[in-house]
Structure 1
Amino acid sequence: MSITDEMKTFAKSIGLDVVRVTSAEPFADAARRIKEQIQRGLRPKWNVEAIDAYCDPRSVLSSAKSIIVVAECYLTSEPVDLSRVRDPHGRIARYTWRNYYYDVKAKLEKVATFLKKKTQANIRFRCYSNGPLAEKPMAQRAGVGWYGKNGIILTRDYGSWVVLGALITNIALEEDEPLKKSCGNCQACIKACPTKALIEPYVLDMPKCLQHITHKQQVMPISLREIWTNRLYGCTTCQDVCPLNRRVKPQNRKPKYGYVGPSLSLTRILQMTEKEYRKRFHRNQIGKWWVSFGAIQRNAAVAAGNIGDVCTIPVLSNVLKHSKSFIVRGHVAWALGKIGGQNAKLALERAFKRERNPDVRIEIENALKF
């Protein structure tokens, strides 16, 4: 058995579901696509040097020869909403229920240790999951899976219910071939996208994507707020409708690290300070620096408005009075207008008298017209 085969056997024995190998050559096609999408206004601006580094494994390890690309399934059979009477919850996207990225990276480090012991060589490596490199192009070239028309990697046995990871190393391993598979004529994900952000196969208009909006501190367009429904973080609609994904069997794997769960109390999120939030969720990706706390509270407000439970009015009223974020206050005003009733109206009228931000005043005026 070759060292590559031994490595794959070991990796699967510790819970990595798909293990493949590709070269460390740059992903020039991926870099070109990103640049084209930026030119079309389909994704945020990014300087050329950063794009090239993102698509070049040698930007993190100059001596890189091979990339071990892995996938771990995160689909489990659990309730998707833990709401209780007088305690409505906002839904969390499946991939964030636990910190699977941490789990994958920890397993990749075990793979690196295994290779060091087996080869007795001076092995250099870097392990990443949700890191500074383009993981999807790696996964496609290694044969971990193929691109779905939503731009997400699909694997044979686990669909797109996987977290990807990569181990970049200076040892040469036997390379795998890409899979010769596609989604054929299926366009289920494109048709189901709530905001029509999938404008054509494999092309995402990122500013319209709810997944992209979920962590950005910006005003959510009025047209998207009801579409948001009861989400708190993330969107997986394009994955939920995928025929291949619907055939995937749930796994029993439930890492404890970074557990958040399928939903969180909206009133609890709205009453948290940022310090409390970061401390509570620091082990999960929703607590990382790139996730705006203001965006999370905005999401909670919109979800509360869509759910329409009057029990949230006192908390929303308090946030409207005390939040320092004009974005949060504006969305809370919308939520109160959406819920309606005398108590919500009274809170809005009082807020209008003290509010000085012109954008929030407009939100309050509109909410009073609901």
Structure 2
Amino acid sequence: MNSILKDKIIHASQDLGIDKIGFTTAAPFDHLKQSLEEQKVNEHTTGFEHPIIDERLYPDQIFNQPQSIISIALAYPSRIKTRPKSIRGEKRGKFARASWGTDYHHILEDRLQKLITFIKEEADQDQTLTFKPMVDTGELIDVAVAQRAGLGFIGKNGLLITEEFGSYVYLGEIITNIPFEPDTPIENKCGECTKCIDLCPTSALLGDGRMNARRCLSYQTQTKGYMPEEFRPKIRTIIYGCDICQEVCPYNKGKDSHFHEEMEPDPEVVMPLLKPLLTISNKEFKTKFGYLAGSWRGKKPIQRNAIIALANARDKTSIPNLLRCIEEDPRPMIRGTSAWALSMIDPNNEEILAFLKSVLTQETDEETQHELLTAIQKMEKTIKGES
């Protein structure tokens, strides 16, 4: 079953920029079908997943005569080597670790293509070889493939946890018509530990490796509309993603990998000043943040999250910026979120209250009217000493 070729691939993988590699069959992942269907019925999915469940489970539905799947992992940093300079009176936001450095989709695609090129060069030339590489925008479930290929186990937080790098890894895979001896799957090793479940601020984790993804803060930071008010304080000053279930995991203690230069974060980019984000142009946003995975939804969610972060930081110096957003920004969601932020930062300010009341009389967007009214009512109660 191409054992010599498999050995060559394993030995060459690190030279190709791959930190861990494993092999599994192209057999169905049908044991996951009931779980995926339940998640869909219960509305626990984000809508970012591949929409056709069977194509996520049955490799033969997306590839002609598949024989094997090769799974790869690349380890990414968990700590910034040099923190950005502190500027008096300025608050910073933060991108979660999976968005540090160059967009991991591009990095994985590069490694997968290099791996395919190597295999083509080393394989039997008499055989017609076919490959289908993919990262998390593909059909298959990356963690399920990686677990079955022996790269690690799926933790209670739903992430793949490797022995060497913890869960700080990017995953990709290649379906191929080459038969390889499969590696041994690794079973869950979480034991009685429930730290990720207990410390998830939104109770998104269900306890069995599944989650209500719509309650995950990482998902909430990527939506484009209003963020539900219950989640706003919980993101703190994170403007993209969430790392809490990784930070508290014992398997991640001391794990910090700096193997790939393109994954190294620019501190000024991944911990940006918040106030300048409120008025950043599309061109400026693309220039500064466009290479990050966290930019994929555009600037609007990042700006909304920056407003929420300023509120959570109770940054009174941002009040003029937020007032300007309400007066000048053409986007209702930005105006409404700014009104909420003002009611959090300075709820006793009667001038701001009067300003919001005047704005409410002119606002035409229904959701934004609700945000303004809620902010006004909160401030009125505070000023009257009712809360």
TM-score relative to the length of structure 1:
0.90
The residue identity in structure 1 corresponding to 2:271 is S
- Within-5 A mapping of 1:124-273: 124-133=130-139, 134-255=141-262, 261-273=269-281
Aligned counterparts of 1:157 and 1:84: Cα–Cα separation in 2: 37
State whether residues 50 and 138 of structure 2, in contact with CA within 8 Å, keep that contact through their aligned partners in structure 1.
no
Deviations 1:68-117 (A, max 9, x none): 10111112431696453233221101010122332122111111111111
Given the alignment of the two structures, is residue 28 of structure 1 paired with residue 30 of structure 2, yes or no?
yes
Deviations 1:340-362 (A, max 9, x none): 15675565345334323243233
- 1:81-100 alignment, distance < 5 Å: 82=84, 84-98=87-101, 99-100=103-104
Match of 2:19 in 1: 17
RMSD of aligned residue pairs (Cα, Å):
2.6
Aligned length: 368
Contact preservation (8 Å) 2:213, 2:219: yes
Distance 1:253 1:141 in 2: 26
3-state DSSP of counterpart to 2:22: strand
On the 8 A contact 1:217/1:292 being kept in 2, the answer is no
Q: How many angstroms does 1:274 deviate by?
A: 4.1
Q: Is the 8 A contact 2:46 2:219 kept in 1?
A: no
Question: Match of 2:203, as an amino acid?
Answer: K
Instruction: After TM superposition, list the pairs within 5 Å mapping 1:296-307 onto structure 2.
Output: 296-307=302-313
- Distance in 1, Cα, partners of 2:264 & 2:62: 26
- Match of 2:146, SS? helix
CA distance, structure 2, for counterparts of residue 30 and residue 44 of structure 1: 17
Aligned with residue 294 of structure 1, among 300, 316, 337: 300
Equivalence for 1:323: 329
Matches for 1:351-370 after TM superposition, within 5 Å: 351-368=359-376, 369=379
Write the distance in 2 (CA, Å) between the matches of 1:256 and 1:186: 30
**TM-score with structure 2 length normalisation?**
0.86
C-alpha distance in structure 1 between counterparts of 2:34 and 2:298, whole Å: 29
1:106-147 Cα distance to aligned partner (Å, 9 max, x none): 111111111111113432212222221211110111111111
Contact kept? 1:145, 1:154, Cα under 8 Å: yes
The yes-or-no answer on 1:107 pairing with 2:111 is yes
Give the SS at the match of 2:272.
strand
Mapped partners of 1:79, 1:331: distance in 2: 34
Instruction: Tell me the SS of whatever aligns to 1:264.
Output: coil
Of stretches 56-65 and 217-226 in structure 1, the one that deviates more from structure 2 is: 56-65
Paired residue type of 1:27: F
2:49 touches 2:137 (CA, 8 Å); kept in 1?
no
Query: Is the contact made by 2:158 and 2:209 (CA closer than 8 Å) also made in structure 1?
Result: yes
Which sections of structure 1, spanning at least 5 residues, go unmatched?
Answer: none
Letter of the 2:6 counterpart: T
Most deviating of 224-233 and 71-80: 71-80
Choose 34-43 or 162-171, whichever is displaced more. 34-43
Distance 1:299 1:81, change over 3 A: farther
Matched residue type, 1:196: S
Once the two structures are TM-superposed, the CA of residue 155 in structure 1 deviates from its matched residue by: 0.7
Which deviates the most, 342-351 or 7-16? 342-351
Q: Does structure 1 retain, via aligned residues, the 8 Å contact 2:304–2:334?
A: yes
Q: Distance in 2 between matches of 1:158 and 1:63?
A: 33
How far apart, CA to CA, are the structure 1 residues paired with 2:335 and 2:51? 38
Deviation at 1:246, TM superposition (A): 1.1
Contact 1:258 1:283 in 2 (8 A): no
Per the alignment, residue 336 of structure 1 pairs with 342
CA contact (8 A) 1:72 1:162 kept: yes
Q: Secondary structure at the match of 1:354?
A: coil
Structure showing greater radius of gyration is 2
SS of equivalent residue, structure 2 residue 261 = coil
Identity of aligned residues (%): 29
Preserved contact between residue 150 and residue 184 of structure 2 (Cα < 8 Å): yes
**Partners of 2:77 and 2:263 in 1: how far apart?**
15
| Gap runs ≥5 in structure 2 | 383-387
Contact 1:125 1:170 in 2 (8 A): yes
Aligned counterpart, 1:56: 58
Change (3 A) 1:211 1:253: same
